Amino acid sequence: MKKSVKIEGLDCPNCARALEGEINKLEIVDNASIDFINKKLTFDCTDEKLAIGEIKKVIKQTEPSAKLILEKDNKEKNKTSMVKELIFDISMLAIGIALGLCALLIDLPTWAFWLLFVLSALFLGYKTYIRAFLLLIKGKINENILITLSVIGAACLGEYMESLMVVGLYTIGKILENVAVNKSRKSIEKLTKMQPEYATILDNGIEKRVTPSQVKVGDIIIVKPGERVALDGKVIKGHCSLDVQSLTGESIPTTVKEDDNILSGSIVLDGVLNIEVTTEYHDSTISKIMNLIENAAERKSKTETLISKIAKWYTLGVIVLAVLVWGIVWAITGNIDTAIYRGLIFLVVSCPCAFAISVPLSYFSGLGNASRKGILIKGSNYLDACAKLNVVAFDKTGTLTTGNFEVKDVISSSDYSSEEIVFLASLGEQNSLHPLAKSILEYNQKELVPVEDVREVAGEGVYYRYNDESYFVGRKSKNHVNTSVEVYKNDEKIGEIILSDKIKDSSIDACKELKQMGIKTIMLSGDTKEIVEHVGEILKIDEVKFQLLPQNKYEYIDELKKDKKVFLGYVGDGINDAPSLMLADVGISMGINGSPASIEASDVVLIDDNPKKVATAIKISKYTRKIVWENIILSAGIKFTFLLLGALGVTGMLSAVFADVGVTLLAILNSMRALVYKSK
């Protein structure tokens, strides 16, 4: 059983990693993972109550400032708790600074000086020392130990001011880091406010409020101005303007009327809507969005994984290097105090916080930015993958076109009327899931009856018997300029139904933007050569493939991927696209008209079915990846520079602290740029 709970009080990603390791040692818990950014602990267990109890014990022993939140606290309580914690930390810091100034600036007896000095150091860094001690007795080391050693070492060398400044600046840095990270968290948490708290159903003409999960398919819900639509459905009464910005990122309201489909998460701006529910809550758009946002952090990029692996050995490596610097400097200068001082500089400047916070925060911000624009990327690994795409293949129907076919014309022989041709076609299509079948059935005016020997052949059509005659509905001839369905009786063509499918307005812009980015575009379709080439010419697609069955699309993508230089994205919406979506390096599905199978198989979901957002997703991914590497290079460059200068004696311990804290804050602020990036 998979369990997920909130965990508060962790202000350090390395502390979170260390705690995660201790929890994974429990026999009753498997696959424990702490998401520092989202403040979430996930784990597998068979006995939830017992597991929670054991985890609490580990937290108390390893990270006493952390605590599990098993029930949702109200917002005001959470906000008050955060403010109180911040005030307490600042108060302790202020007391520590005041005591330190008294010890350093006033001429005091030795015992009084040491009393104030020790108290100052304790007030300034008590959290750091506690964490260092708790982990040390378990045989673990991290940056808390580095800082503790630096404080003790500087004091032993008589560098009292630097000793207090090291821990004081480190604590200030941690407070500022928390403020910056919490600001980013709040920006992302706005996404979760899309989740409706209730739905108003009509029960025998009486309005009744229930939780969205209690509503069933076919129920009628009423949504009034200012309320959020709780479930996907079809408008049966009323018309209004909708705010869909939280779903699609579009600020301009959209208008809905009777018979229009409506997505959960939309906000009614005016008017009252009666909506017939078409999906249960767990299958609704808003529920899918929440699940994707909640689980995205579990799929980490290779960069995040690498940083996490390096961090496990980083601190030990730093201590070894510090000892090495101490030995070399002592050997060269012959002064042990100078050697120890320069070794301590190594400990201070080498804290891995800049890497440990900024890299996941960058990806977190990029995922949040994409989500606010109606692009759900299922993890930072897929965000990374989007940035590498150089070929994008599109399905045609429902992806580049609307997929909503309309009967444009009916051609029949002299023996049959147009109405009879449509009726005969509907007899064969009445159990088909094909979008053309749905359009023909809607156009039919006659009552349908059961038929015999029904056999559907993928890529061809439906064979059946009716009144002792053999019929076929589908397509046998190959040369069609329009989308059409043919009707045969005893192998003789008796009619043809012409349907039209409009190209999405956004498809032209989508292909244009991708080509401007140097990305090759391909269209894969089961339609005829004439139709596919016509659409391809309008969209100016680089390459088109026609008359493809689902397995043909799969084989074509598989062949493309044999070229190691090709990094392929596939965009589709149907159940037959699921294999291709899974095979592609990045599978991108449609959120509204996409089948559940295609959405499940994909790595990216476009909530509003807008193909233009493929380019937007790639741009956000490239920008986020750029920021990640900026942070890595910036942090590594500054730290290496100050390590070298410290080892040579050019800079002191205070400069090292400024370098460590400063580069961490710069990296955090830089990471948050991914949250507000707007593609041009």
Question: How far apart are the C-alpha atoms of 518 and 513, rounded to whole Å?
Answer: 9
Residue 461 lies in a domain: yes
Residue 134 lies in a domain: no
Mean pLDDT of the chain: 83
Backbone phi, psi, residue 5, to 5°: -135, 155
Last residue of a domain, one of 35, 57, 72: 72
CA 212, 213, 218, 219 torsion: positive or negative? negative
Question: How far apart are the C-alpha atoms of 85 and 178, rounded to whole Å?
Answer: 11
Domain of residue 457, CATH code: 3.40.1110.10
Question: How far apart are the C-alpha atoms of 530 and 478, rounded to whole Å?
Answer: 9
Instruction: Say what the pLDDT of residue 389 is.
Output: 95
Residue 207 lies in a domain: yes
The two three-digit tokens of residue 157, written as one number: 């060398």
The β-bridge relationship of strands 469-474 and 267-268 is: unpaired
Domain of residue 217, CATH code: 2.70.150.10
Catalytic positions, written as ranges: 395
Residue 602 lies in a domain: no
Confidence band, pLDDT 50/70/90 cuts, at residue 76: very low
Q: Which of 316, 412, 369, 425 is nearest to 624 (CA)?
A: 369
Confidence band, pLDDT 50/70/90 cuts, at residue 322: confident
Instruction: Say what the pLDDT of residue 329 is.
Output: 87
pLDDT > 70 in the chain, percent: 87
Lowest model confidence (mean pLDDT) among 228-237, 397-406, 512-521, 622-631: 397-406
Q: Does 642 have pLDDT greater than 60?
A: yes
Question: How far apart are the C-alpha atoms of 388 and 569, rounded to whole Å?
Answer: 10
CA of 346: how far to CAs of 133, 156, 179, 653, in Å? Answer: 21, 17, 27, 9
Lowest model confidence (mean pLDDT) among 41-55, 91-105, 440-454: 41-55
Starting at the earlier edge strand, list the strands of the sheet with 220-223.
Answer: 206-210, 199-203, 220-223, 273-277, 233-237, 261-262
Residue 623 lies in a domain: no
The average pLDDT across 6-19 equals: 74
Burial of 438 (0-12, 13-18, 19+ CB in 10 A): middle
Q: Which of 345, 319, 350, 343 is nearest to 329 (CA)?
A: 343
- Domain housing 436: 406-500
- How many other β-carbons are positioned within 10 Å of the β-carbon of residue 73? 13
Lowest model confidence (mean pLDDT) among 249-258, 381-390, 560-569, 667-676: 249-258
Residue 13 lies in a domain: yes
The average pLDDT across 665-676 equals: 84
Q: Does 249 have pLDDT greater than 70?
A: no
Last residue of a domain, one of 239, 256, 288: 288
Residue 419 lies in a domain: yes
Segment 452-507, tens digit of pLDDT? 999 888 768 899 999 989 999 988 776 665 678 899 999 889 999 988 788 888 99
Domain of residue 66, CATH code: 3.30.70.100
Last residue of a domain, one of 467, 500, 533: 500
Residue 603 lies in a domain: no
Helix (H), strand (E) at residue 246: helix 245-248
Q: Give the count of domains, the chain.
A: 3
Segment 387-445, tens digit of pLDDT? 999 999 999 888 898 877 888 889 987 688 999 999 999 999 988 877 788 889 989 98
The average pLDDT across 30-35 equals: 82
Helix (H), strand (E) at residue 201: strand 199-203
Q: Which of 196, 276, 274 is nearest to 238 (CA)?
A: 274
